Every structure is written in structure tokens, then in C-alpha cells.
Structure 1
Amino acid sequence: MTIWTGLTGVDHRLSYTDAGGVRTRALIAGPEDGPPLVFLHGTSGHLEAFVRNVPAHAGAGYRCHAIDMLGHGYTGKPDHPYEIPRYVEHLAAYLDAIGAGRVHLAGESLGGWVAAWLASEDPGRVASLQLLAAGGTKADPKIMERIRTSTLKAVRTDDARLTRERLHLLMHDPAKDVSEELVEIRHRIYHQPDFVANVHNLLCLQDMETRQRNLLRPDRMARITAPTLIVWGRQNPFGDVPEAQAMHEAIAGSRLELFSECGHWPQHERADLYNQLSLEFLKAHS
């Protein structure tokens, strides 16, 4: 069994789309006329973060797009710092390229940060918003250094053990949720020449000055009008529960769900629970 086994009964394809001049990899599944749902991964991540979620959502009638974001996975890596407005610009260009106007967004970690920023800037474009262990509301030097150091070690040293350790940081129970296949997928991504060359651009948000000007502050979150679901793991190593509660308080009408025995990948670690919750939320706001 592989992480792709769940897709064997689902009509899907891996596709490359020109998004504002950036070649962008996407996993696309579900009926062509279904409501568009875009999944966005976290820092140094890739679309495989959502392989446990796409089948359920595609099967429920949503046109799913799990994309490699700007500078990530097998998407193009232009040589400039990847700050949040750049990610948002790339996401909007992808939506334009696929002809999507109003979409549902589900973003994990960095992906939630980007999705929330777009929702605050262009509310007419976002039908609903899911923030899964979303980043961007705090600038904790210890966590930022942990992300920077662990990623650089894994990228600059061709040793799968370091990639495995980077993935282990994300999960409450790595033995259950970090397969050797997932390690191999990420190891190959990390050691593409253009990924190695641009990893400093990808990690720019772990620089304090850069992060401060990109923070998802309460006044910005207050501008979000889309129905919003916040999902957080109680054992999230990159943010404690009060961070999620503050996000919930800043976004009017939002809903907060806390998952036990869960770290930084709730959609992956507690996929069955997340899929049911997400589909109920989407049904209520479609």
C-alpha cells in the first residue's frame, strides 16, 4: 500500500499549470463542475500533504486542487524572497488560470496563513476558509529557528535521516503517520537543484524582520468575512492552543475545533475526523 492507494478509485490527474508565469504542479480530482476546493500545504511542504483528504472531498462532489505553492514541491522557484503577498499573488494567478472565481480554501500551516491573507484582501473570492494549524499570527524566535535549522540540515545534507527527522517534527505519532514513502517523496523534493538553490527564499519568513511585516495580525483577521473553520492539534509543536483561540476570537463567527493526539498536520494525522468535519462545514457553506 502507498500513500496514493486511496486515489485508485478516484478520477484524478497530476497537472502543471502556468500560474502567472510560474509552472505549478497540482493534484486535481473530482467532477469538473463541482465547487472548487483548493488545498495549501505548509513551509517546505508539497501537495502530498493532502492525499488522505482529496478522495473523500472529490467523492463528495468537490473539484479538488491540491497545489505545490510558490517555490515548493515541483512548482517553479523564482529567485526572490517568498513573502506572503508573493504567495497570494501566485495563488490568485493559479485560480485565474483554472478559471475559478469563488473558491473554498483549506490551508495548513503556511497554507493557512496564505489563505487567510487572500480572504482578508479579496473576500469576494473566498467562499469558505479552513485554517489547519495555521501559521503567521506569532513570531516565536525558538520555533522559527527550529524550522530554519531542521529544514536547512535536511536540504543541504543528502541524508534521508534528516528529512525523516524534519517530518517527525510535525507529527504527534511519527511511527503511525510518517511512512518511508513520504520521507522519500520529500527527500527527492528537497534535493532538486533549484530547491537547494532557493531554500533561503523559502525560509525568509523565519527571519524576524521579514516575518514581522508579514504577520497575520488581529486587524487583518478581523477583515475576514468568509465562514471560517479553525482546526488545531492539542499537541501542535509549532503553536499552543491559546494561539488558535486568539485566531478564533479575531475572526468573527469562526468555529474552533481541537483535535486530541494530534500535532501540526491535523488533516493527515486525524484524516477520518478531519474529513467528516470539513465536509459538514463545506456543505453548510456551499
Structure 2
Amino acid sequence: MLNRAPLRVLIAAPRGFCAGVDRAIQIVELALERFGAPVYVRHEIVHNRFVVERLRDLGAVFVDELDEVPDDRPVVFSAHGVPKSVPAAAQSRALTYVDATCPLVSKVHRQAQRLIEEGRHILFIGHAGHPEVIGTFGQVPHGAMTLIETIDHVADLSVPDEANLAFLTQTTLSVDDTAAIVDALKARFPSIRAPRSEDICYATSNRQAAVKAIAPECDRMLVIGAPNSSNSLRLAEVAERIGVPARLIERASDIDWDWLGEPRTIGLTAGASAPEVLVREVLDALSERFDVTEEIADHTPERMTFKLPRELVA
């Protein structure tokens, strides 16, 4: 196409894979090397269809529940974490299993257990039905934790003992929304116990901050991520709140060109479970229609790495 309109693309950094996602994918790959195919994976290892399909091609079989796993095959638990009942069921069947739960999610699980041992009731800020929330609730006795989804829930709360409360949060929430809910909790329950350190993970915070840094210069924002990816959805919300129209897309083929129009500058980012190859795919698609100038907008370098399970690297 001749006479392509100029387009400046501000590429957020950091973006894409976080250390927990990288580790989870490596765990499935190493399990396939160690045990051979098929290796079963309970739920999507991470929320990204491209990643899941690639692992499926390598021999991973994704299932909803443990009873779909044959007795003689290994199973991997997803990065979002699982209730205690799941590894217990695997052990009762003598299944070989590898836990790919993100270490930052595991940290929240340990905090929850400690708070229950102290006799506290936990108010958990998160999204109902998200695998991470289900996994965290599954660490504690039924009724020991109450879900808080919005700031409005705080005013309506009825708790067993206001003097023995604590709060924890899902790791992939909106930083701003969560801060507002936490402020409301502290105002209503002044003695509530806060986590020793913030539960929202570094990758979620950094990716939201990177969007905030570039959004004021952008006419549109494209966020690469799955519709069931909490951290990806939050990135689009961050841009919208700044006043920049944003769309969540899974791949370049999802770009709505009529919606995009002919902007001068767009922002491009990717959720923590979206691979860099999809960023390149979107840039290539944009280059077919526009005269693209790419700019990496560095915000915060990330050097976090997590150890792999001993049973796969020994």
C-alpha cells in the first residue's frame, strides 16, 4: 500500500511474560522432556491460548479436573495455584505431580495459613471465580475467608470479630482499585492486619505503571492478552481511565481497524502471560497499513527469576 500514513508506536516496557509465567511454561516443557508425552496439565498453565496451543502441540494435555488424568501419567498444576485438596487427591492416587504455582501466589497461600493459625478472619480482595482466588480460598477452612470484589462491598460487610481481621489480595489486580478498597477497609476496621508486603505482584504493578507512563501520548492503546487474563484486562482499564480508548486483543487478527482509525500515536503492551512473538505479530500487521516508527518506552527493568522445582532439574 502506497502513501501509508505515519504511525508512532510506543511499546510499553516492561510487558509480556513475567518470571512466574516463564517458570510455569518451562515446567511443562521440562516435564515433557523428563516424562515424555503426554503430560497432563490441570487447567490452562497460564491464560494465553497461543501458549497453551504450543504446549499442546508438544504433548501437553489440558484437563479441568484431576480425575481426567490417568494413573500412570504425570500432572502439572497451573501457575494460578490450586486448593490444598488437589495435591492431596493426587497423593492419594500416587500420581506424579509438579506444582507450577507462581511463587508469589504461594507466598499469599502461606500468609493465609499463618493468619488462620493466629485466629484471624481474612478479607480477600479479588475477583470471584478466578483460579487464583479459588486456589487461595482452598488453603483455609470453609468460612475463614470473605471475598471483597469492590469498594461497595466494604460498607456492607458483616464480620465475626472486628478485632481479629486481616486482608490479603489477589496478585493480578488493579493497583489503584485495590488501594481504594484497602483504604476503605482500614477506615472501617482500624485494627485490620495488613500483609507484610504488598500482595499485588511486581509484574502486575510494573505493567500498569508502564501503561500509565505512555498513555498520555497515545490516541489508542492495544493490549495483547486473553479475555480471561486478569492482569491483561487491568492494563486496558488503566489506559481507559486515563482517557485513552483501549482494546484487548489476543492476536493481530483481532485488531478492529475501523476502531483504530488513523491515529498518530498508539500504545502497545502485553499482559504477563502473552509471549513477545505476539507483540511482533501486531507490529508487523500495523506496518502493513502504516509507516510505523517503533519506540520502546522503558519504565522499570525486571530481573526477577524463580527457581525451578528440584524434581525437574536434579
TM-score (norm 1): 0.32
Which one has a bigger Cα radius of gyration? 2
